[in-house]
Amino acid sequence: MGMDLGGTAIKMGIVDKKGQIQAHLQEGTKVEGGARGVLEQMAGLVEKLLGSAGVKKEDIQAAGLGVPGAVDPERGRVILAPNLSWRDYPLKEEVEAVLSLPVVIENDAHMAALGEMWQGAGREYSSFLLVTVGTGIGSGMILQGRIWRGSLEYGAELGHVKMMENGPLCRCGGRGCLETLASASAMVRRFKEKLSWGRASRLGDSPSLGLREIIEAGREGDKLCREVLEEGARHLARALANVALTLGPEAIILGGGPAEAGDLFLSPIREYFREYMGTWLLRSLPLIPAQLGNRAGIIGAAYLAQQEVG
């Protein structure tokens, strides 16, 4: 079983040994109930999922659980998960008690990278970086078939590399983080800023405006929307080139916005990437869209559960 615990939704699925999702469901996370409440919610969802799929509890061998935050998988603890307001919580132990199943926990971006490695765009690569552009910018690194955690224990935090001095303030407290320049929310903010300067667009300012609308209007030829996407792409491409220059993964897989926007966002990323790499692009380094969408976390969690138990 793969479980993807997010700040807004819990997703879970029964995944077979070949990596196919047999049944899945999703529900808004009841964060307000605290850790206890979320655990009870998860237990209920597991029952519901098993019932709807006609699967017996005994047929589930283990569960993997992805968490949005810093996780210590060996000690089974969540160190810090701001979106859930958890800190130093013994999640593995607690979930195992509630579900009566062996459980492995891991950071959600790492789970998604494992999912893409097993069943998605990463199948052909043993070392790659997965970058997901959403409200923030998440990333997970696979080196030689395994999650790379590094000495600081959270692996790749590409969203927080510093692209400039004295850049926009990030929610992490830093300045000029990539996330403040190339995330979905950064591009929406930039679009609104340009609107406020009197720039024309077929889109009006609205509180509900999201990256999806900007992509849609860009696709229909809206100049301002294209410009904003291209600016985001340029920043992202420079960060990716810097990763290629220091680490040289075999491929970079782009999820979230880039995967949804298709060529409108991917083409300028690839173009700027080649420009920034210049003479150093000694062989091709594929920049490819993710394939599993928001199922990557479930599939990767099931993969890790299978690895750890099997």
Nearer to a second copy, 141 or 302 (CB): 141
Q: From the CB of 250, what's the least distance to a second copy, in Å?
A: 4
**Residue 25 or 281: which CB sits closer to a second copy?**
281
**Dist CA 46 CA 5 (whole Å):** 13
Query: Distance (Å, rounded) from C-alpha 292 to C-alpha 296?
Result: 5
Rounded CA separation 91/12 (Å): 17
In sequence order, what DSSP letters do the residues of 12-35 get, joined into one string? Answer: EEEE-TTS-EEEEEEEE--GGGHH
Nearer to a second copy, 77 or 295 (CB): 77
Amino acid at 10: I
**Based on CB atoms, which residue is closest to a second copy, 94 or 250?**
250
Q: Residue 171 contacts by C-beta under 8 Å, 6 or more apart in sequence?
A: none
Give Cα 59 distance to the centre of its chain.
Answer: 29
Tokens 């979230």 map to which residue? 256
Taking the least distance from each CB to a second copy, the nearer of 243 and 269 is 243
The distance from CA 287 to its chain's CA centroid, rounded to whole angstroms, is 16
Based on its alpha-carbon atoms, the radius of gyration of the chain, rounded to whole angstroms, reads: 20
Distance of closest approach, residue 234 Cβ to a second copy, in angstroms: 8
Q: Cβ closer to a second copy: 53 or 79? A: 79
Tokens matching residue 210: 């999201």
Minimum distance from residue 164 beta carbon to a second copy (Å): 6
Q: Which residues make Cβ contacts (< 8 Å) with residue 262, sequence separation at least 6?
A: 289
Residues that bind a second copy (CB under 8 A): 70, 79, 127, 139, 141, 143, 148-158, 160-162, 164-165, 172-174, 234, 238, 241-251, 276, 278-283, 285
Give the integer Cα–Cα distance in Å for 244 and 235. 14
Minimum CB separation of residue 163 from a second copy in Å reads 8
* Closest distance of CB 309 from a second copy, Å: 25
**C-beta of 11 vs 235, nearer to a second copy:** 235
Nearest-approach distance from CB 177 to a second copy, in angstroms: 9
CA 16 to mean position of chain CA atoms: 23
84's enclosing H/E stretch is: none
CB of 28 to a second copy, least distance (A): 28
